[in-house]
Each structure stands twice: as C-alpha cells, then as structure tokens.
Structure 1
Amino acid sequence: MVEVEMIVIVILVVALVLVLFKLLIKPDSSDQDAALRKELREMNSASTETLRKTLEGLGQIQREHLVDVSKNIEKLKEGNEKKLDQMRETVDEKLQTTLEKRIGESFKLVSDRLEAVQRGLGEMQSLATDVGGLKKVLTNVSTRGALGEIQAEQILQNILTPDQYSKNVNTHPACKGAVEFAIKLPGPDGDLNNPVWLPIDCKFPKEDYERLMDAYDSGDKEVIKKASNAFKANVTGKAKTIRKEYVAAPYTTDFAVMFLPTEGLYADVVRQPGLFESLQRDHQIVVTGPSTLAAFVNSLQMGFRTLALETNASEVYNVLGAVKTEFVKFGEHLGKLHKQLNTAANTIGGDGDSINRRLRAMERTLKDVESLTPIGANEVLGLTDGQESYES
C-alpha cells in the first residue's frame, strides 16, 4: 500500500513539473495559456479522479486488510484461549496430583509418628512397671545384695579361672560369716594349696545414696551436708564390718575389697572429700565399682601369670640340663662315627695299602690281555646262565 501511494504522488509531481515548464517557456501566448489552463484543469480533474479512485482502492484494501487482521486476531485469541485452557488444565492436574501426593505422604508420616509415639508410650508404661518392680527388688536388702553378687561374679568369671577364686569363703578360722568372694593368692613359698585369701564383699547403701541424690536435686547446702555425712558414715561402717569380719593376716591379705555395683555409687564415694583415702588408710578397704574391679582383677591376673612362669622356671631349667647332658653324649657318638668313617675311607681310597691301589695295579698287569666276550667269560669262569660276569 505504501508503494502505491508513493507511485501516485510521484506521477502528480511529474505532471506539475511539466505544466510549470510549459508556462515558463511560452508566457506570451494567450491561447496557449487558455489551452494550458484547460489542460491543467483537465489534468487536475484526472489527477483528482485518479487520486480519488486510488484512495478509494487504498481504503478498500485497507478495510479488507483490517478485516483479515481482525479475523487473524480472533483466531489468535481463540488459539491462545485454547492453549491457556490446556495449560490451566495441565497445571491444575499436576497441582492436584502433587498436592494429593504431598498430603498423602504427610498423613502417612504423621500416622507413622503417631504409631511410634503410641509404641513409645507402651514401652514407657512397661518400663515404668519394670522400674516399679526393680524398686521393690532393691528395697529388699538381701535381694539388693544378690544383685551385687551376680555382677561381681560375672566380672570374676570373665577374667579369672574357676580355681583362682571361690564363693562364700571362711577366710580365717575365727571367721563368723562367709565372705561373698575371695581370690586365691599364693601362700608361703608360693604354695597354692594353702592360699592367702583376698576378700571381696558387695555392698549397696541404697537409702543413703538416694537421700544424697535428692539433696543434690534440692540444692539446699544444709540438706546436702547432712545427707553427705550420713552417706559417709554408712560407707565407713560397712568398711569397718568387712575389716573386722573377713581380714585376718596371715590367712588373708591385710586389706579387703568393697564392691559397689553401680558406677554412680562408686563415683559419689570418690567424690566425698577424704572418704576414699580414709577407707584405704584407716580401714585397709579398697573401694571399687564395676570398671575398677575389672581393672583390679586384671592386674591380679597378670600377677598369676608371672607366678606361674616363676613356678615353672625350675622345671624348664631341669629339662634344659637333661637336654645338655644328652647333647654331650650325642657329640661323643658323632665323634666315634667320624673316626670310623675316616678309617673306612682310608681303607677304600687311601695312599697306603688300600683297595684302590691294588685295583690300579691289577689293571696295569692285565692291560695287554685281550678281553673275552661276556658269553666266553661265563664259560671260562664257570658261571651259570642266570649269572653274569663282573664286567657285564
């Protein structure tokens, strides 16, 4: 369209230029002027008509183009709407699927957690029941002692052999009660048949220990001090009892072991200022917990191994002495065999009157004698058919 308009404008411009050119060339001719004006009017009318028609054609073309553009826009709009609807449906579908999946997973996770919580509550109820039963067990003094004995026996069984310790032992003739465990140590001159006993007694001062824990929780200094003094007095009293009843040298060692069945109880004994040292210094009682008893018994086990080596050292020395004696005899026999072998070697191949010397002399003498065939030799020597001559 723009090109058509440009062509029309160019034609009009050219026509005007021609008219002006004619006017400038013939200015004096009136007839020509009239003719020129008439021609200009006709050209103007023709140009106007041509321009009108051109503009009408352009307008028609423009209207048709606008109609086409409108149709294309409508089609594009409809296509965009369809695509948007499809995209909306796809997005809605994916969002719905994802949302349902996430919600399902969330509900499943919540359900699993609730189920785990339910199981935990059940286990806590069972644990509470078991704790209640354990509390009843620990309330009984004899049962509490049996718990400590079981734990101590397990430690001893894991480290020592059955013949290295005993249960319920009367450690000395005047002993009024039997100590729970006693380790056998070598007696005089290392005699294991007449051992020296190392007493191990299990104690569990539960009530005073619990009162001390409650005092720590309260944070009251006076209550803590009072509970600590009661706890120290209880432990010291038990140490005196062990010392009095089970320690009697030379039947036993000059000290004994007090076993506390929990690490917390042992830690609180060690935590009390001066209590641990006082028990060792004043009452010859070594306080141990589960881990320290295991370490203590391990050290004794190393001592047992050293003693066994020392006991067997004399036997090993005697065996080495016997081996040395037999080795000397073996050397003497080897010397005799060497002499005999030298004598035989000299008899066979020596420089004197030996077998090799005589054999060489015989070979020199018989050098010029012609050898017979094996069959002829057999006939001369009188050998049977089953025998052969030396040369064959």
Structure 2
Amino acid sequence: MTEFLGTLSRNHKTEANALREGLAGAIADINAILREQNATIAKGQADQTSVISKGQSEQTAAVVQTLEGFAAKVRQFEGKTEATLEKMREGVEKKLTDLQSGNEQKLEEMRATVDEKLHSTLEKRLGESFSRVSEGLARVQDGLGEMKALATGVGDLKKVLSNVKTRGNWGEVQLGNLLEQIMAPAQYSTNVPVTNGRERVEFAIKLPGRDDSQKQIWLPIDAKFPQETYARLVAAEEAGDLEARDRASKELEDVVKKCAGDICKKYISPPLTTDFAILYLPTEGLYAEVVKRTGIVEHLHRECRVVVAGPTTIAALLNSLQMGFRTLEIQKNSSKINEVLTSVKTEFGKYALVLDKIKKNLDTAQNTVDEAQRRTRAITRNLDKVEVVESGATSKNLVLSAAEPTVEVPELELSAAE
C-alpha cells in the first residue's frame, strides 16, 4: 500500500513538472514575442507605438487566458487526486476491518480447539485415574469384606447374651441349626472321622493347625444325648416323689458320665482332634440340672476331658470361635490389605501429579490466549494509527516568475507504527 501511494505521488509530481515546464515554455515564448515587439517598436518609430501597444494588450490577454486555463487544469487535477485518495482511504479502512474480524474469528476457533483438546485430555486422564482408584478400592473392599461377617457374628453374640432363644423359652435348639446360623460352612463339618476312620463324630469345628505341617484340628461336639432320664427327673419333681427324684438324679449322673466316657474314648484323638470335646445338652433346663451338680462337672472335665454346654453356652462358645477365626483371617490378610492401601495411596499421588500437569497445561493455554488477545489489541491500535496526511490547502498560489515559474503540489504522507 505504501509503495502504491509513493508511485501515485511520483506520478503526481511528474505531471506537475510537465505542467510547470509547459508554463515555462509559454512564458519564454511570450518573452520572445515581447522582445521582438520591443525591437519592432524601436525600429518602427513612434507612429507604430499605438499598434504595438494594442498588440501587446491582445497578447497579454491571451497569456492571461492561457495561465487561467493552466490554473483550472491544476485545480481539476487536485480534485481528482483528493477523490482518488479518499477512495484509497476507504478501501484501506475496509481491508483493515476485514482483517481484524478475520483475526478475531481465527482466535475464537483456536480457543475452541484448545478447549476441546484440553477437555478431552482431562476427561481421559481423569477416567483412567478413577478407574485405577476404583480397582484399588475394590481390592480393599475384598480384603476387608470379612469385617462385615465379623459384625454379623458380634450381632449374633449380642442376641445370645441378651437371652434371645432360637425356639422359645425352653425350645430345643438343635446343634446343627446353631452351627448353620453362627459358623461359616467351611468352619465346621458333619460326620467327621477322628480316629483313623473307625469313629465319626456328629459335628466337629475346624480349628487351624499348630504349624504349617498340620493344616487343621477338629473340635468334637456330640449332641446324641437321650432325654428320657431328664424327663423322668422332671416328672418326679413335679409329683413331689423324693425317692423317685433321687433315683432319677442318680440315673442322670450315671448317664452323663457314661456319655462323657464314650465321647472321650471315641472322639478325642490328638493330634487329629483337640485334647477335649464338648457334650451338648439340647435344652437349658437339662443343662442347668447338670451344671448345678459341681462334682459331676469337675469329674467330666478332669476324668473325661469333656466340657458340658447348653444352647446359650454353645452359642457363646461358637461366636467366640467365630471372632477368633475372623481375627486370624484379618491378621493373615493384613499384609495384603496394607499392600492395597499402599497402592491406593500411590495412585492418589499419581492422580495429584496428573492434576498438577493439567493445571499447568490450562495455565499455558490461558497464557497463549491472553498473548494472542494482547497482540490482537496491539495490531488494532497500530491499524488505528494509519492516517492519510492531506494538505491543508486545496489549491496553491501560482507564482509567475520570468526566471523560473513554480507550481507547488501537495505531498501524501503515510505514518504507521510498528
């Protein structure tokens, strides 16, 4: 644009110089004519003065008319030049406006592209991090899943300690139902061979072995106890027959000792089993009738290595064993739980690093957009400074000189700031 304006200014100067040279030639011709007339006047005597004066007047009028024609052409040329410059200024302003709007549109497209890429990258990274965290939490959940079962066992123990019966006040709670309700299927078994396959105990609880060479130890529980003797004792007490009650009481002691002896001979076989067994009495009344006789309980424990248990007592014992199993399992898996928690901690650390990187990328993108906006404003300010400097006067006085006539032409100046 500057080169074009410079070319236009040079053309303008060239045409002005041509006009100036033509005017100078005309003036030179006029001077030559005047000199010839003066010579003619000098030679023609005084009688030709009037003729010469008349000719000079006519020639002077012609010269003036010629000069006025040149001035009109100069004014016409100045008008055309001003119109041309005005059109050029309007064209430049329109192009600058189009350039500014195009830059703004491109910047908006760049911002949208950057936002889209950052959004997709952020979603991808966050999705991957949350997936890893979810997997770690799932492993933690699996490792701590036994805690829920432990809470269930504590609840069962609370029921037993609060004297909640499974089958009514004097309900005959069977051992199998209690084991099924309290213990896990893998923690007990039925009809377990305990003496090299010759004898099988009805129920046995699976205890962990003493060392790695022994996987498990069985705790025998025998519930095969006849209730007829107890029924005769109760009937005698209800009838108030002291002799029958004493006979029934002695018979009950003998039956309990015989059952305990059978349990000791058949089912206690270390190291396959523990060195004691449990004699389960099916009702609370029968259990209370036996344990109130201190001598028989001590005899069973000392001579037969048998512990007597009723429904409430066996439930409390089973819950204690269950909590022991859970505690042991948690201790075994504590290292795995620690590894999972360490992995989760590491993943969270990586997640924090990813967030820091995302924040840095967002800051970089924001700085880039700000820099683009700053440059756009700078370009806009620079384009607003583009001015067309025009001459204050629309026409110049023509100076006529016999030596060197001149015609001043306005110059076009373009100023632009970087």
TM normalised by structure 1 equals: 0.47
> Which structure ranks higher in relative contact order (CA pairs < 8 Å, sequence separation ≥ 6)?
2
Work out which of the two has the higher radius of gyration on C-alpha atoms and give 1 or 2: 1
Provide the TM-score with structure 2 as the length reference. Answer: 0.44
